Chains A and B, each alone.
Chain A
Amino acid sequence: MKKNKKEKIKVYGRPRLKKDLPLMYCPGCHYGIITSLLAEVIEEMDIEGDTIGVSSVGCTFINTQYFDLDFIDSAHGRSPAVATGIKHAHFGKPIVFNIQGDGDLAAIGMGCIINAINRFEKITTIFLNNANYGTTGGQLAPTTLLGQKTTTTPDGRDPKTAGFPIHIAEFLSNLKGVAYSARCAVNTPANYNRAKKALKVAFQKQIDGVGYSIVEFLSACPGSWRLTASEAMKRIAEEMIPEYPLGEFKNVERII
């Protein structure tokens, strides 16, 4: 059959659920990719009509503008409690996900998420780990790598004074209420596809009422890392993934 060279076939595009707005993230930031991925997953699972998103402060707050979904933002670290309120308000019916950065979840909001999981809430948390406080200019986060320079660890993170990188996906998987916990990255097409599968499993655990689900993303933050986009991508592969291995840490069919 003779090919018509003029015919254009669209193989990839902006997800319908991601609004056509100018990109507000820094060049090379992975948040835009993760936002698209989330929109794709919600669209493909055909759950947009019942899905409500909860974002937090900082750059995750910008997410609220992209999704063509019911959305709310919330105080720093408190989105698991806000998600709890929304989920219970409609007697458990909606699919509720929250997006948290590493300062938000692992520092100021650590108690909040642990207790939401331990109350056996059925919520899905998207945890964006970029190893620093990106919005405020790149300060030390609980997830900052050892030796990593931040504006509050100018000589690099020293465990003697600033402690250790915390492994959230592994740590939270120890809680009984977690049905699914995984760590992903979007630095390669293969990792992107794995992340997409993980997100689908995570949402399905909530839909099936199995328990809490969490997907951690390793996310480049070239702006606050003071790296170029390609250098930041390299850091994901060479420094972040060795410290924070990708994979599933929990995947259970039943908790009670």
Chain B
Amino acid sequence: MIKRILTTGNEAIGHGAIYAGCRHFFGYPITPQNQCTEFFAGELPKIGGVFVQSESETASINMVYGAAAAGVRAMTSTASVGFSLMQEGISHIAMAELPCVVVNVQRGGPGMGTTQTAQMDYLQVTKGGGHGGYRNIVLAPASVKECFEFIQLAFYLADKYRNLVLVLSDGIIAEMAESIELRTLEFDSLPEKDWALKGKAHKGGRRDFISCSNLLTRPTRDGLKVLGDKFHEIEANEVRYENYMTEDANFILVAYGSSARISKEAVDIARSEGFKVGLIRPITLWPFPYKPIKDLTSHANKFLVVEDGLEQMIEDVRCAVEGRGEVYFLGGTARHLPGPGGMIFPDRVIEEVKKLT
């Protein structure tokens, strides 16, 4: 019998991780992801797993680095400010090619910003954040169900490519409750982690060395090629997106996460009023769906990026459109309240669509 529960985005991440076989969580409290950390603290010990509360996000990500090197499915979760502290560790994980999952529940920024929802980390999560020009796969759930499923997908992709996978949530997705079915997703089989550190006695006496450096393990140029080839392979195979009523649309909304939920509702209302509006929702923010957006320029010439913050994703949308249409932005200044609790409502999106049509 399939079990159906009512849960929040934060807790769905926890459920998804357990269904993915993750038994190791390392985290530090920060709003608005605390329910996520607390979920693991409560649930993992019950099933023989390990929860460690670190002293900082810097430590969390380095614990994940160690656990991933030991060959287990390990993760951490944080919110924007803490994600900044993890950049050093994430860069080292990229070099050591360690498969692991990091959740960033976005809050307002920059700086301490606010403790409430925003979408202001796009450039940081998609363009690196740490030094060295690495890439992380970034999955952006727009529902509680997707929080549950994308964590499972994240662990699969991490193991497939030996790469860090980020799940980019936000305060709204994290705290809203929806009904989900608890089930294990099926994926292709994965190679054995024969490189993992277990102690020589546990792998026939063979010694393994994992390094976050090119200095002693391989020539620098070879190291660059390994990483570059992997990033290109991911770009070729893992682009994910959702088209919603775009077939005949001449006006396209582009949004991810909570803004995509809002934009979808705006499309429904605008359609009922006779406007040919559609939505394309990037599901992977990296690799970004450049071509699917470009393809829409065959019949659409206006693109409105809805992102709850300052202009960030618009840079990738402009790249995708390649001058074949106008690209506009509706962001955090369109929120209904001046304080941190404000949000962009569908009516405000429709108002913008009408203004631009």
A47-72, CB under 8 A of B: which get 1 and which 0?
Answer: 01111101000000110110011111
The total of chain A residues at the interface (CB under 8 A) is 36
Which residues does chain B contribute within 8 Å of A85, judged by CB atoms? Answer: 24, 26, 62-70, 74
Contact in complex: B63, A64 (CB < 8 Å): no
Which of B72, B201, B211 is in CB contact (< 8 Å) with A89? B72
Q: Does A204 contact B (CB under 8 A)?
A: no
Contact in complex: A78, B89 (CB < 8 Å): yes
Q: A49-B200, A85-B26 are in contact. Are A68 and B207 (CB under 8 A)?
A: yes
Which residues does chain B contribute within 8 Å of A71, judged by CB atoms? Answer: 197, 207-210
Q: Does B54 contact A (CB under 8 A)?
A: yes
Contact in complex: A78, B50 (CB < 8 Å): no
Contact in complex: B24, A64 (CB < 8 Å): no
Interface of B is mostly: mixed
The total of chain B residues at the interface (CB under 8 A) is 42
Which of B56, B72, B198, B212 is in CB contact (< 8 Å) with A70? B198
Which residues does chain B contribute within 8 Å of A88, judged by CB atoms? Answer: 24, 50, 52, 63, 67
Q: Does B242 contact A (CB under 8 A)?
A: no
Q: Does A162 contact B (CB under 8 A)?
A: no
Contact in complex: A74, B92 (CB < 8 Å): yes
Contact in complex: B62, A78 (CB < 8 Å): yes
Q: Does B184 contact A (CB under 8 A)?
A: no
Which residues does chain A contribute within 8 Å of B67, judged by CB atoms? Answer: 85-86, 88-89
Q: Which of B4-30 contact A (CB under 8 A)?
A: 24, 26
Q: Which of B87-111 contact A (CB under 8 A)?
A: 88-89, 92, 96
CB distance from A100 to the nearest CB of B (A): 13
Which of B62, B64, B199 is in CB contact (< 8 Å) with A52? B199
Q: Does B163 contact A (CB under 8 A)?
A: no
CB distance from B77 to the nearest CB of A (A): 15
Which residues does chain A contribute within 8 Å of B200, judged by CB atoms? Answer: 48-49, 68-70
Q: Does B177 contact A (CB under 8 A)?
A: no
Q: Does A241 contact B (CB under 8 A)?
A: no
Contact in complex: A90, B88 (CB < 8 Å): no
Contact in complex: A54, B66 (CB < 8 Å): yes
The segment from A111-119, A172-180, A220-228 found at the interface with B is: A111-119
Among A62, A72, A94, chain B packs the most CB atoms within 10 A around the CB of A72
Which residues does chain A contribute within 8 Å of B54, judged by CB atoms? Answer: 81, 115
* Alpha-carbon distance between A28 and B251 when the two chains are bound, in angstroms: 72
Q: Does A83 contact B (CB under 8 A)?
A: yes
The list of the 5 closest CB pairs from A to B, nearest first, reads A85-B66, A49-B201, A89-B70, A81-B62, A115-B55
